[in-house]
Amino acid sequence: MSNNTQLDIRQIRATLQSKQGSEYWRCLEELAETEEFREFLHREFPREASVWDDSSMGRRQFLMLMGASLALAGLNACTKQPDEKIIPFVRSPEFVTPGVPLSFATAMVQGGFATGILVTSHMGRPTKIEGNPDHPASLGATDAFTQASILSLYDPDRSQVPLNRGLIGTRDKFLQALSQALQAKKASGGAGLRILTETVTSPTLGDQLARLLRQFPRARWHQYEPVSMDYAREGARIAFGRIVTTRYHLDKADVVLSLDSDFLTHGPGAVRYARDFAQKRKVAGGKQTMNRLYSIESSPTNVGAIADHRLSVRPHDVEALTRRIARGAGVLVETPQSGNHDTWLAALVQDLRTHQGSSVVIPGLYQPPAVHALAHAINERLGNVGKTVSYSEPVEIQPEQSQAESLRKLVSDIRDGQVDMLVILGGNPVYDAPADLDFGGALASVAFSVHLGLYADETAAECTWHLPQAHSLETWSDARAYDGTATILQPLITPLYAGVSSDHELLELMLGTAEPKSYDIVREFWRRHSGSRDFETFWRTSLNSGLVAGSTFPSRNVRVRMQEVQSLPPGRAVPGDELSLAFRPDPTVWDGRYANNGWLQELPKPLTTLTWDNAILVSPATAGRFDLQNESVVEIAYNGRKIAGPVWITPGHPDQTVTVHLGYGRTKAGRIGSKRGFNVHAIRTSDAPWSIAGIGLAKTGAKSRLAVTQHHHLMEGRNLVRSASLAEYVANPVFAKEHQPSAQPSLYPEHEYDGYAWGMSIDLSACTGCNACVVACQAENNIPIVGKDQVLAGREMHWIRIDRYYKGSLDDPEVVFQPVTCMHCENAPCEVVCPVAATVHDSEGLNVMVYNRCIGTRYCSNNCPYKVRRFNFLQYSTDEPTLAMQKNPEVTVRSRGVMEKCSYCVQRISAARIEAKKEGREIRDGEVVTACQAACPSQAIVFGNINDPDSRIAKLKADPLDYGLLTELNTKPRTSYLARVTNPHQEPGTSA
């Protein structure tokens, strides 16, 4: 309304007085009956509105009206809120600060043995596993399995509900059925009740089992695991008359002999052994001594790959060689007359004898008890006991009966009708029991069988009841490490799926406790057994540190019964024309328990780089004899049983032998693991779990594609992995820098680094090629898996890969490993060719990838001489809800069409920087630990600030062994290598 309207108050009063009745007025203008007000009314009310046909309506007017109506519309919001109180989240869960991850100590258990771990948890979601630096089996590192176990926790294919004969059941129904079944047992003292577990070291579980056996005296407990330590235990029994657990102290060993053992990568204590071994192996820093490793092996392993001397023999020949070594060491055993490998053995024996007390002989789990007994005898003769080898009480709760025997007894009892109730706590015997036992067939005749497992697997399908087990990160438990150190496992998250969550709870239910909780069971056990007066402190300390203080088993003095060992009859000599076969646990899916773990399926197996499948490994010579090519499917027959699978020709494999790996041919593993490879258990029998001789091999003419990640195995004379023997290194410490081009000019100005300058050094002498770094990187950096077809297409996504090259002859090559990450070149070829500046150089020398800027030209990858860039050719990252929970919130999840690569764990650098800034200091040396570095058991990877002359990394970069890859291209890589130094024996003719 117009502002200059004059209101005559007197007139208004008069008008008001003249009104009759209840007249309402709107405003003074109305009362004044001004022209303006009539105008306003006319415009305001639609019936009378003339705005829209008013041709004088201009832009300004329109906007004015619009503004006014918007302002009025706002008034509508001025309503009264309902009186319902909501309460803000003022009290957050204890310790949780949004954005700051927490770390909890617990343990990862495989084959019964624990490795201490620290689990990183983001807002209640465990996302990453690191080793526990205080735990003797870890010392801060982990293996690949441990790294990958976090993925199994979130596996959407995990069993989620109890199953009753394959149909969904409920916990209550199960409890009803269980109590009914047990009711009958009470009267009979448990006759017909059997418990089948995997190897048990858990003190709590042991105690529960003991109580159960007391309550049901006629019940029996059986143990079975396809990869067991039966032979080691039996060997100890022969040697010492009693079962002991052997421990090696490789930090004191100068000469190590491995008898078909992969002690650096598999088995209890492997992570610790790799650390100790590498300490004696590394020469960087001016050391001029290192240990020497001899390996006699019947299937190529990482140990053989890094050995200074490797002898590749058929599985049955190891014993004969061991006898000759034993004789050389002074154990008077019967030796065969054969004269093979004389010089090799002579040099070895001489080396062992000159290193009495500082040598060690390590027998492999796959060699028969006689080899173990002989190894004990040799170690004792060489005076190694108490120095490089020690013995302790067995770590297993029940080591006495061999697992093969135990399972055989169970099956025969079932067949005799003596078993009507079988409780299987973990494990998958229907899939992995020896073929001769036909466990699956026997199981069907058990009236009431219960299976507790992570997956509704092959065994679950054959049982009356299946119960979803909680993952070890979801429940309370305990376990012992290789040296007896106990860890109390604590949960990081409540179980994702309901059920009877753990073996503890199920056993406690059987013992008659209503609604037992794992927490109470484990806590109660330790309350009774901690021996501590202040239990609460004990409990908190143990949980906090991840181990029970003082629980390590003391070493025991045991003497080898030389007479018994020397009178051992020699094993069967296998004629040269017989084809033998070695069974081995798979290096990535182990015995099949990790079959549904995508990270492990896609993890290139060391030496073959095979993913997603197992294969029949043969030597080039054997392949030639049978006219086999890679991927040709052959049938292996043994005692009327058959398996068929594709061949992979493996240089360095012993002739007249094939190797097959367990863990494949699963039928009910899940979406990832089912129907991959072939099941070798079909020819694996209980009397010969690790090697057989006299197999038949026949070509089928079929082909089966195998997805390997590395197709070319020779360095083509390129100076990529630089190596020398210790003697050569001592004579010429700068051998790695020879043929290195001098500084080259560049068109672009040099970068300047005033603050930090990050760099990495990888010690090729220490790398065992164990793959822990690869999975650690995958877990840390949200790296997707792509599937077999994509690996076949050459699109695997790992940011760090372990290149493996062969050198020398096809039949007995030298193997070298070279982990390759992004080199973070100072003159990065990728940076100049990106058209959209999606890969750029930062002020600290990182070559950073800007995912949301990348348009996917892939030019950077083409121009990367190291080919470390990885591209999302398709939508690889999944939005599966449970898998999304695993993702590291500090790292972007990449979508299709985007390039990615190693970032030097820039999120960890940022975290350290934030901490340092808060405290007003520089980042300390060793404060930033990349995921690969943290996981590395042999500490081959060092990361840090090369601008700080006192940092470890700066010192390593200054070491004469330091060299860069492809520096002739003037890329100036920030990742460099410490050249590989080996320590072969000086005797001629020993370079086997």
Partner 1 sequence: MKREHGVNTVETGPLIGHGQTYGTITDKITSDVLERKTPRGMLFGLAIAFILTMVLFISIGWLMIKGVGIWGINIPVAWGFAIINLVWWIGIGHAGTLISAILLLLNQHWRNSINRFAEAMTLFAVGCAALFPLLHLGRPWVFYWIIPLPDTMALWPQFRSPLTWDVFAITTYFTVSFMFWFVGLVPDLATMRDTAKKKWMKIVYGVLAMGWRGSARHWHRYEMAYLLLAGLATPLVISVHSVISFDFSVSVLPGWHATIFPPYFVAGAIYSGFAMVLCLVIPVRKAYGLQDFVTDRHMDYMAKVMLATGLIVAYGYAMEAFFAWYSGNEFEKYMMFNRTQGPYGFIYWGLLLTNIAIPQLLWIGRIRKNMVWLFLISITINIGMWLERFVIVVTSLHRDFLPSSWDMYYPTIWDWATYIGTIGLFLCLMFLFIRLMPMISIFELRQLLPWKSR
The residues that touch partner 1, with contacts defined as CB under 8 A, are 710-718, 720, 790, 793-795, 801, 803-805, 818, 820, 829, 832-837, 853-859, 861-863, 865-867, 869-875, 896-899, 965-966, 969
Separation between Cα atoms, residue 153 and residue 340, nearest integer Å: 50
Separation between Cα atoms, residue 176 and residue 164, nearest integer Å: 12
Separation between Cα atoms, residue 696 and residue 578, nearest integer Å: 9
C-beta closer to partner 1: residue 440 or 856: 856
Residues 6+ apart with CB under 8 A from 160: 468, 496, 497, 498, 499
Other Cβ atoms closer than 10 A to 84: 5
Separation between Cα atoms, residue 808 and residue 436, nearest integer Å: 42
For residue 604, the minimal CB distance to partner 1 (Å) is 11
What is the separation, in whole angstroms, between the first and last Cα of the chain? 106
For residue 632, the minimal CB distance to partner 1 (Å) is 19
C-beta closer to partner 1: residue 447 or 836: 836
Structure tokens at 108: 């990862």
614 phi and psi angles, rounded to 5 deg: -105, 165
Strand pairing category for 616-618 and 465-468: unpaired
For residue 711, the minimal CB distance to partner 1 (Å) is 6
C-beta closer to partner 1: residue 717 or 881: 717
C-beta closer to partner 1: residue 653 or 869: 869
For residue 897, the minimal CB distance to partner 1 (Å) is 3
For residue 792, the minimal CB distance to partner 1 (Å) is 9
For residue 803, the minimal CB distance to partner 1 (Å) is 4
> Per this entry, what is the length of the chain?
992
Nearest one of 570, 561, 559, 566 to 330, comparing CA atoms? 566
For residue 150, the minimal CB distance to partner 1 (Å) is 26
Residues 6+ apart with CB under 8 A from 358: 252, 253, 254, 255, 384, 387, 388
DSSP state of 68: H
C-beta closer to partner 1: residue 42 or 867: 867
Indicate the burial class of 723 (C-beta count within 10 angstroms; 0-12, 13-18, 19 or more). middle
C-beta closer to partner 1: residue 634 or 802: 802
Separation between Cα atoms, residue 212 and residue 507, nearest integer Å: 8
For residue 966, the minimal CB distance to partner 1 (Å) is 6
Give 805-828 as a 3 state SS string.
EEECCCCCCEEEEEEECCCCCCCC
C-beta closer to partner 1: residue 901 or 908: 901
Structure tokens at 430: 């229907």
| Residue 528 parent element (H or E) | helix 518-529
C-beta closer to partner 1: residue 223 or 827: 827
> Strands (DSSP E) along 772-867, which ranges?
801-807, 814-820, 839-841, 847-849
For residue 971, the minimal CB distance to partner 1 (Å) is 8
Structure tokens at 592: 């099949």
Query: CA torsion sign, 898 to 902 to 904 to 905?
Result: positive
Structure tokens at 312: 């590749």
C-beta closer to partner 1: residue 136 or 819: 819
The amino acid present at 568, given as its one-letter code, is L
C-beta closer to partner 1: residue 184 or 792: 792
For residue 716, the minimal CB distance to partner 1 (Å) is 5
Nearest one of 682, 584, 701 to 642, comparing CA atoms? 682
327 phi and psi angles, rounded to 5 deg: -60, -45
C-beta closer to partner 1: residue 538 or 806: 806
For residue 894, the minimal CB distance to partner 1 (Å) is 10
Strand pairing category for 359-363 and 255-259: parallel
For residue 840, the minimal CB distance to partner 1 (Å) is 8
C-beta closer to partner 1: residue 61 or 875: 875
